[in-house]
Amino acid sequence: MTVVNATDYFQFVPSNPWLAVGWRDRAAITLPIAPYLERKGIGFIASGVEQIRPDVSQLQLENGETLDYDYLILATGPKLMFSEVEGAGPEGGFTHSVCTVDHAERAHEDFERLLENPGPVVIGAFQGASCFGPAYEYAFILDKALRKRKLRSKVPITFVNIFAAGVCVAIPPVEATPVPTGAPKTGYMIESMVTAIVHNIAAELEGKEANYKGSWHAICLADMGDRGAAFVALPQMPPRDVNWFAAGRWVHLAKIAFEKYFIRKMKKGTSEPVYEKYMMRALGIRRLE
């Protein structure tokens, strides 16, 4: 049995993000392959494979040797395609990577510079990436590493490819109130956020500008048991274009009807039936700005 590997060392890839912020060094996450395989009586060649010749069951190695095989197991990992995106990658590009130990070391060099001269950082994964986890990990790790040094406030971090909608979004309070309260986030407003996100992702995938904005319009039916109050606020946060309010028994009935209607929509998987869209438009209420 012979193992062939392009490098003479093994790298524990998941620790690369730690290396990039100085929590590990290269020695801690790499090991020489040969001695460990030798102990098990397994041969090792540190060379890239240049060509596989299945017709003669042979490998052509980059070091000039050839190697015969009976069975061949291929496990060559990812081929990093920085060349697909102009300007990408640590070699000849303008971005860092934590995909290999070499890349992580370079990222660490610039991390040290960032500490000396803090500024904005953008983290993300390029189109075509299949493994997003490490980018998320790195965002959290960088956040922690900067907080440890009390520099987080000087480094705005933007994570591309992440969108957020709904109550998890931090919206500053509208005004100071005697009891501190946050800005209300109502259902239609959240639907408008989701609509904008979906349009933006679709636009990005088509290579177009992703500049859709949710309207943050609010329509609310507040129930009072046997009657209710309805309001329309366009947009929800003042200053508003429309401020409409009405009360009566019809609101209670409308809320019951809305409950049935919304649950039916959920079951059918229809977020905005065409008749809803046109009815809302007639009322001047749109999900997108």
Residue type, 138: Y
Q: Does 99 bind ligand FAD (CB under 6 A)?
A: yes
Helix (H) or strand (E) holding 278: helix 274-282
For ligand FAD, the closer of residues 123 and 232 by Cβ is 123
Does 16 help bind ligand FAD (rule: CB under 6 A)?
yes
Q: Which of 73, 131, 176, 179 is catalytic?
A: 131
**221 close to 255: Cβ distance less than 8 angstroms:** yes
Q: Counting contacts by CB under 6 A, is residue 142 touching ligand FAD?
A: no
Annotated active-site residue 220? The verdict is yes
Cα separation, 135 vs 131, whole angstroms: 8
Cβ-based neighbours of 127, under 8 Å, separated by 6 or more: 84, 85
Position 73 contacts ligand FAD (CB under 6 A): no
Number of residues that bind ligand FAD (CB under 6 A): 18
225: which DSSP letter?
Answer: S
x/- mask, ligand FAD, residues 117-136, rule CB under 6 A, reads: --------------x--x--
Q: Which residue has the tokens 């990436």?
A: 129
**Selected catalytic residue, list 155, 220, 221, 232:** 220
Q: Give the residue, chosen from 14, 120, 166, 284, that forms a contact with ligand FAD under the rule CB under 6 A.
A: 14
Q: Where are the beta strands (DSSP E) in the chain?
A: 2-5, 9-11, 30-32, 43-46, 49-53, 58-61, 66-68, 121-123, 157-159, 218-223, 228-234, 242-248
- 6 is a site residue for ligand FAD (CB under 6 A): yes
Chain residues 23-62 in contact with ligand FAD, contact rule CB under 6 A: 48-49
Q: Does 75 bind ligand FAD (CB under 6 A)?
A: yes
Catalytic positions, written as ranges: 131, 220
**Residues in the site for ligand FAD, rule: CB under 6 A?**
4-7, 13-14, 16-17, 48-49, 75-78, 98-99, 131, 134
